[in-house]
Structure 1
Amino acid sequence: MPFTTFDTAADDDVVREPGGRRALSDDELIERYSWPQHPSADGVTIRGNVVTSIDGSAVGPDARAGSIGTAGDRRLFELLRRTSDAVMVGAGTLLDEQYVGLRVSDDSVAWRVSRGLAQHPTLVVVSSDLSIPADHAVFADAPVRPVLVTNSGDDGRLAAYEPVATIVRVADARFDDDEREEGLAGGSGTDPAELRRALARLGLHRVLCEGGPTLFSALLDRGALDEWCITLSSVVVTGAGPRPAHSAAGATHGFARASMLEGCGALFFRWERAT
């Protein structure tokens, strides 16, 4: 898969206002990405975060999103995690992106503790066919007990996860197992509202979703994704890489731009679901 770079700016982590010269501090960036003061009726806000190439690919030549990110993108990635109660990811993305136990930086730990939060956000794994092993590092090396969201009725297989994760069953939800990326499918019977209620019961109100495409699409199709943070990286990736959201049945979803920043040749957008 050819990989072409159109911007050769130094890969620093400076993020600025468009056209500005002054670098924004971490506190200023956190303010610009502050969570809503008045969330949805269920008390949960789900915020997506993704990086894309200029031509819309969600991954680089190695089929991983990390290869098209910039230092500024990685900085925002850390800050978004810093302020979240939970980080939610489809099992396929966890495997493809080689996730390990979810830990934030020492600076983020200090920030969270000073505000009465757990040292690290809770990892929420969304899986249907339980393709991620129960002894995977995301469970074995987790500083906070992860949550496994599934509609699997296989009690025998689920028993293997009980020592390492809090299991949440989303009843009557159909999951899409036709693709590697696992998540709530957009077909009839899907109820992301049930997922949101489960997150609220667990005290996970500020949820950062890191993909992948099928999970994003399912949340979008059911109006369950409240915000979407997108880094537009200054690269073009030719080939058949996936888009950030993908499903067999396409649909249009309205969002309003809440902010735009720049740095390292990239643009950083924050979008809010139109009401």
Structure 2
Amino acid sequence: MQRIPNAIQLTEVDADGLAELYAYPTSLDRPWVRTNFVSSIDGAATAGAVSEGLGTPSDKKVFLLLRDLADVILVGAGTVRAENYGGARTDAQRRRALYDRGFGGHRDGTPPPIAVVTASAELDPGCRLLTDTEVPPLIITTATAPADRKQQLADAGAEVIEVGGVAVTPKALLAALADRGLHRVLCEGGPHLHGQLLEADVVDELCLTTAPVLIGGTARRIALSGHEFRSAMTRGHLLLDDDGTILTRWVRR
């Protein structure tokens, strides 16, 4: 049988080895954008309208590791509402250890903030994002978003950041994160935000889990955009779990 280059059995990788496989580049002077998604074999990005329905144990393991590595977790407002997002729950000891090894993490072990992209600032001030978190979320919005909404979110504990007049562009968004020293960016969705980042050519790598199921139906893909584009990627690694889950990392050429 011919072996697939860079294919690794997950059972052969310990926790330190897995962290090294997913480590961010060192000495970043700009945001490095990593996106993380799961899909079915037939390309569905959700099951039962949420991505969690596709999760497997190995996908969850990598999902938590990627959060431990990140400086900030980027997500669209629609995904926050659909997935009932709260603040990130990360392993403080592991984040300190990852930082010491130069992989990512944080020197103090504090969790990464959730940064929510919403041009209209349309979020419930009483949602879990604001009531169930250790660190204040970042609300990335616009100057034309209703002032009362922005004030309510700020009063609820969020840091509200205006990055544009009527729209949040990917480059303005990343510049705002860079201004705060948040260079290790992890985008968890949704498909529209992912598509905008890809179309703007600012995604450096995609971590994609293929769950060993077929879904059918009308579920969306992991990326949706107004225009078709073509971005060449190189396979960083491919991890195979015994249950059929395939975990890949694709890096922009």
Common fold by TM > 0.5: yes
* Contact in 2 for aligned 1:48/1:209 (Cα 8 Å): yes
Amino acid at match of 1:48: T
Amino acid at match of 2:36: N
Aligned-pair CA distance for 1:22 = 4.0
Are positions 1:113 and 2:96 aligned together? yes
In the alignment, which residue of structure 1 is the partner of 2:65? 79
In the alignment, which residue of structure 2 is the partner of 1:226? 204
For residues 161-180 of structure 1, the aligned pairs below 5 Å read: 161-163=153-155, 164-172=157-165, 174=167
Q: Assess, with a 3 A threshold, how the Cα gap between structure 1 residues 245 and 20 changes in structure 2: closer, same or farther.
A: closer
Aligned-pair CA distance for 1:145 = 1.2
2-side partners of 1:192 and 1:144: how far apart? 23
Are positions 1:155 and 2:147 aligned together? yes
Are positions 1:50 and 2:33 aligned together? no
Cα displacement string for residues 64-116 of structure 1 (whole angstroms, at most 9, x for unaligned residues): 11111110000000000011111111111111112122212xxx211123441
In the alignment, which residue of structure 2 is the partner of 1:215? 193
Aligned-pair CA distance for 1:252 = 1.6
Percent identical = 32
The structure whose residues are more often helix, as a share, is 2
Aligned-pair CA distance for 1:126 = 0.9
* Contact in 1 for aligned 2:73/2:186 (Cα 8 Å): yes
Q: Assess, with a 3 A threshold, how the Cα gap between structure 1 residues 262 and 117 changes in structure 2: closer, same or farther.
A: farther
Q: 1:34 aligns with which of 23, 29, 37?
A: 23
* Contact in 2 for aligned 1:102/1:138 (Cα 8 Å): no
Q: Assess, with a 3 A threshold, how the Cα gap between structure 1 residues 156 and 267 changes in structure 2: closer, same or farther.
A: same
In the alignment, which residue of structure 2 is the partner of 1:141? 132
In the alignment, which residue of structure 2 is the partner of 1:252? 230
Name the stretch that deviates more: 222-231 or 94-103: 94-103
2-side partners of 1:44 and 1:173: how far apart? 23
Partner-residue secondary structure (3-state), 1:231? strand
C-alpha RMSD of the superposition: 1.8
Partner-residue secondary structure (3-state), 1:209? strand
Aligned-pair CA distance for 1:19 = 6.1
2-side partners of 1:195 and 1:21: how far apart? 35
1-side partners of 2:44 and 2:10: how far apart? 29
Aligned-pair CA distance for 1:25 = 1.4
TM-score relative to the length of structure 2: 0.88
Are positions 1:23 and 2:6 aligned together? no
TM-score relative to the length of structure 1: 0.81
Q: Assess, with a 3 A threshold, how the Cα gap between structure 1 residues 266 and 22 changes in structure 2: closer, same or farther.
A: closer
In the alignment, which residue of structure 2 is the partner of 1:181? none
Aligned-pair CA distance for 1:27 = 1.1
1-side partners of 2:67 and 2:154: how far apart? 25
Q: Unaligned regions of 5+ residues in structure 2, if any?
A: 1-5, 100-106
Aligned residues: 237
Cα displacement string for residues 8-55 of structure 1 (whole angstroms, at most 9, x for unaligned residues): xxxxxxxxx74648431111111001101254xx52111000000111
Partner-residue secondary structure (3-state), 1:162? helix
Aligned-pair CA distance for 1:250 = 2.0
Q: 1:205 aligns with which of 175, 180, 183?
A: 183
2-side partners of 1:168 and 1:21: how far apart? 40
Q: Assess, with a 3 A threshold, how the Cα gap between structure 1 residues 173 and 46 changes in structure 2: closer, same or farther.
A: farther
* Contact in 1 for aligned 2:35/2:187 (Cα 8 Å): yes
Q: Unaligned regions of 5+ residues in structure 1, if any?
A: 1-16, 175-183, 185-190
2-side partners of 1:221 and 1:266: how far apart? 28
Q: Assess, with a 3 A threshold, how the Cα gap between structure 1 residues 141 and 55 changes in structure 2: closer, same or farther.
A: same
Partner-residue secondary structure (3-state), 2:189? coil
In the alignment, which residue of structure 1 is the partner of 2:3? none
Partner-residue secondary structure (3-state), 2:176? helix
